[in-house]
Amino acid sequence: MYLYAIMDWYSRFIVDWQLDQSLEIGFVLETMKRALAPVYELALIESL
Protein backbone atom coordinates (compact mmCIF):
# COMPACT_ATOMS: atom_id res chain seq x y z
CA MET A 1 0.00 0.00 0.00
CA TYR A 2 1.41 3.39 -1.02
CA LEU A 3 0.37 6.81 0.22
CA TYR A 4 0.99 9.84 -1.95
CA ALA A 5 0.34 13.18 -0.24
CA ILE A 6 0.76 16.74 -1.47
CA MET A 7 1.59 19.21 1.28
CA ASP A 8 1.71 23.00 1.29
CA TRP A 9 5.12 23.66 2.83
CA TYR A 10 4.16 27.09 4.16
CA SER A 11 1.06 26.07 6.11
CA ARG A 12 1.96 22.35 6.41
CA PHE A 13 -1.56 21.54 5.22
CA ILE A 14 -2.16 18.31 3.30
CA VAL A 15 -3.76 19.55 0.07
CA ASP A 16 -4.64 16.11 -1.30
CA TRP A 17 -3.74 12.47 -0.74
CA GLN A 18 -4.41 9.08 -2.25
CA LEU A 19 -3.76 5.43 -1.40
CA ASP A 20 -3.01 2.78 -4.01
CA GLN A 21 -1.72 -0.78 -4.25
CA SER A 22 1.07 0.11 -6.69
CA LEU A 23 3.36 3.06 -7.23
CA GLU A 24 2.38 3.81 -10.82
CA ILE A 25 2.67 7.23 -12.41
CA GLY A 26 -1.06 7.33 -13.22
CA PHE A 27 -2.21 7.57 -9.64
CA VAL A 28 0.51 10.11 -8.82
CA LEU A 29 -0.59 12.35 -11.70
CA GLU A 30 -4.25 11.99 -10.73
CA THR A 31 -3.46 13.16 -7.20
CA MET A 32 -1.53 16.13 -8.59
CA LYS A 33 -4.45 17.09 -10.85
CA ARG A 34 -6.92 16.92 -7.95
CA ALA A 35 -4.65 18.99 -5.71
CA LEU A 36 -3.97 21.69 -8.31
CA ALA A 37 -7.52 21.98 -9.72
CA PRO A 38 -8.73 24.64 -7.22
CA VAL A 39 -5.57 26.72 -7.72
CA TYR A 40 -5.94 26.59 -11.50
CA GLU A 41 -9.62 27.62 -11.32
CA LEU A 42 -8.78 30.54 -9.02
CA ALA A 43 -5.99 31.73 -11.32
CA LEU A 44 -8.32 31.48 -14.32
CA ILE A 45 -11.02 33.55 -12.60
CA GLU A 46 -8.56 36.20 -11.45
CA SER A 47 -7.10 36.58 -14.93
CA LEU A 48 -10.48 37.50 -16.45
Q: What would the pLDDT profile of 1-48 be if each residue is shown by its tens digit?
A: 998 888 888 888 888 888 989 888 888 888 888 887 766 555 555 555
pLDDT in tens, 1-10: 998 888 888 8
Sign of CA dihedral 19, 5, 2, 31: positive
| For the chain, domain boundaries | 2-47
> Model's pTM, two decimal places?
0.59
Smallest CA-to-CA distance from 6 within 32, 43, 39 is with 32
